[in-house]
Amino acid sequence: MTAQSSVVSPGAQPDFAVLGGGLCGRLVAWRLAGAGHRVALYERGDAAGSSSAAWVAAAMLAPLAEAAVAEPLIVELGAASLEEWPRIIGALPEPVFFQRNGTLVVWHHGDRAEASLFERRVRANAPAELLAGGGLERVDGPALAAAEPALAGRFATGWLMPREGQLDNRQVLSALAAGLAERGVAAHWNTRVDETARPRARVTIDCRGLGAKPVLPTLRGIRGEVARVKAPGIGLTRPVRLLHPRYPIYLAPKENDLYVVGATEIEGEDMSPVSVRSALELLSAAFAVHPGFGEARILELNTQCRPTLPDHRPAITWDGAQTLTVNGLYRHGYMIAPEVSKAAADLADALLTGQLKDADGFGALRAASPWTTMLHCSAPQAV
Ligand SMILES: Cc1cc2nc3c(=O)[nH]c(=O)nc-3n(C[C@H](O)[C@H](O)[C@H](O)COP(=O)(O)OP(=O)(O)OC[C@H]3O[C@@H](n4cnc5c(N)ncnc54)[C@H](O)[C@@H]3O)c2cc1C
């Protein structure tokens, strides 16, 4: 698709209606508009994105660290997306904090069994090129202190993955909203779309995250709780993960001494406020990594649910007619969204142009995609 801008004229049927303007919907709409299409986007929440899972996420871009809990498809999507993020951010009209300064994994002596488990899983799930050339380095105390001076003397050993990244989630949501306006997308904020009243468009792309449950009955939410704290004077330079037998806790440093401390992983779609137990665990872990967090100020305690399919994989599903659903980004949305949104936009483009109109066409496009196993057809003649 070629890059040019377009404007949706009032009243005209757009080429594409994108339902849901969280992370995925914004990216898909922005890509399609950049290719010259007329795009309308419908989001039940505000332009800031505060109704989305994307709003509370830590936005770590850590395919190697995630290889400890994710299968190769996710790791490879993450590695490709990490290269793509700077191109996206460079084309947006607002600045976005983006960093590739790596991930540091540490553990307390009592949890050292977790460290070898972590290494075994990462080596099993990560492609060789991510591990090559110092992609996963075991660091002893002095090397750890040299890499992350704030933690000098605090941990005897760690794993450093120097090429991993992170970005500021709220800045990228804001910059994408500005990018949508710049590209002439008709963005309908504060507009819920349900199954009885779909907006008119030649092709519809459903990116409603958990809001797509009516059409994806196997979709479920996995609750995640995070704290946002302001901690001047600590100066961590990259996300630090603390291995833990129940769930790894991380501290992701953003600009201006802001840290996202997360995250619990609890089955269920409970969006109620953060529990006392979770707040204690998250904040105690931060304090255990560095006592300076004792004087941090708690800015927010937030809950959201990660949209998750039974196999924990993302899926782009064609209904055999004029609708795609893009969902199941689970805990990896930021890490994989550049590639997922690119694949979705390409498939949507093929639907619009008629290149995709039957099972044979779908089979050919699927075979040509680098992400074959992410593409599905739910029509009766499904491939
Ligand atoms: C605590 C936590 C921490 C995370 N940390 C990370 C991380 O470090 N790295 C990472 O890669 N990922 C992380 N994630 C995962 C990431 O946030 C999600 O995978 C991602 O946001 C999913 O994107 P999405 O667009 O599918 O869904 P969302 O971002 O949830 O967007 C869906 C949008 O659809 C809208 N919507 C829903 N229903 C309707 C309707 N009926 N009509 C109109 N609009 C509707 C919603 O308001 C929302 O804006 C984290 C998630 C959580 C909860």
Q: Which of 283, 308, 333 is the last residue of a domain?
A: 308
Residue 133, in any domain of the structure = yes
The CATH number of whichever domain residue 330 belongs to comes to 3.50.50.60
Residue 208, in any domain of the structure = yes
Whether ligand 1 lies within 6 angstroms of the CB of 56 is answered as: yes
Find, among 351, 357, 354, the residue nearest to 28 by Cα: 351
Q: What is the mean pLDDT of residues 110-117?
A: 90
Residue 97, in any domain of the structure = no
pLDDT at residue 299 greater than cutoff 50: yes
pLDDT at residue 11 greater than cutoff 90: no
Please tell me whether residue 375 adopts helix, strand or coil conformation: strand
My answer on whether 130 and 226 are in the same domain is yes
Residue 361, in any domain of the structure = yes
Pocket perturbation via mutation, ligand 1, pick of 192, 278, 303, 306 by most ligand atoms within 8 A of CB: 306
Residue 3, in any domain of the structure = no
Atom of ligand 1 nearest to the CA of 330: 19
Q: Which of 308, 337, 366 is the last residue of a domain?
A: 308
Total H helices, total E strands in the chain: 11, 19
My answer on whether 350 and 366 are in the same domain is yes
Q: What is the mean pLDDT of residues 57-69?
A: 97
Q: What are phi and psi of 286, to 5 degrees?
A: -60, -45
Pocket perturbation via mutation, ligand 1, pick of 334, 336, 341, 374 by most ligand atoms within 8 A of CB: 334
My answer on whether 187 and 137 are in the same domain is no
Q: Taking a C-beta distance cutoff of 8 angstroms, is the pair 307, 209 a contact?
A: yes
Q: Atom 31 (ligand 1): residue with closest C-alpha?
A: 22
Q: Which of 308, 343, 359 is the last residue of a domain?
A: 308
Query: Is the previous residue joined to 368 through a cis bond, with omega within 30 degrees of 0?
Result: no
Query: Per the structure, how many domains does the chain have?
Result: 2
Whether ligand 1 lies within 6 angstroms of the CB of 341 is answered as: no
Whether ligand 1 lies within 6 angstroms of the CB of 45 is answered as: yes
Residue 87, in any domain of the structure = no
Residue 78, in any domain of the structure = no
The CATH number of whichever domain residue 154 belongs to comes to 3.30.9.10
pLDDT digits (tens, 9 = 90+) for 22-53: 999 999 999 999 999 999 999 999 999 999 99
Find, among 84, 95, 74, 5, the residue nearest to 342 by Cα: 84
Residue 1, in any domain of the structure = no
pLDDT digits (tens, 9 = 90+) for 172-181: 999 999 999 9
Among 36-50, 243-257, 327-341, the least confident range? 243-257
My answer on whether 231 and 287 are in the same domain is yes
Q: Atom 4 (ligand 1): residue with closest C-alpha?
A: 57
My answer on whether 299 and 346 are in the same domain is no
How sure is the predictor about 317, in pLDDT bands with cuts at 50, 70 and 90? very high
My answer on whether 241 and 107 are in the same domain is yes
Atom of ligand 1 nearest to the CA of 51: 47
Q: How far apart are CA 8 and CA 30, in angstroms?
A: 13
Whether ligand 1 lies within 6 angstroms of the CB of 53 is answered as: yes
My answer on whether 303 and 224 are in the same domain is yes
Whether ligand 1 lies within 6 angstroms of the CB of 135 is answered as: no
My answer on whether 198 and 315 are in the same domain is yes
For residue 254, what are the domain limits?
103-162+220-308
State the average pLDDT for the chain. 94
- Going from the C-alpha of 331 to that of each of 58, 63, 264, 266, 314, the distances in angstroms are 10, 11, 11, 12, 10
380 vs 141, which has greater pLDDT?
141
My answer on whether 297 and 233 are in the same domain is yes
Q: Atom 35 (ligand 1): residue with closest C-alpha?
A: 20
My answer on whether 151 and 252 are in the same domain is yes
Q: Atom 51 (ligand 1): residue with closest C-alpha?
A: 57
Whether ligand 1 lies within 6 angstroms of the CB of 40 is answered as: no
Give ∠ CA 208-210-211 in degrees, rounded to 5: 55
* Block residue for tokens 């089979």: 363
Q: What percent of the chain has pLDDT over 90?
A: 92
Q: What is the mean pLDDT of residues 217-227?
A: 97
Residues 6+ apart with CB under 8 A from 102: 147, 160, 161, 162, 163, 164, 238
Whether ligand 1 lies within 6 angstroms of the CB of 55 is answered as: no
Q: Please state the pTM of the whole predicted model.
A: 0.95
Whether ligand 1 lies within 6 angstroms of the CB of 162 is answered as: no
Whether ligand 1 lies within 6 angstroms of the CB of 14 is answered as: no
Atom of ligand 1 nearest to the CA of 302: 1
My answer on whether 138 and 240 are in the same domain is yes
pLDDT at residue 247 greater than cutoff 90: no
How sure is the predictor about 5, in pLDDT bands with cuts at 50, 70 and 90? very low
My answer on whether 238 and 213 are in the same domain is no
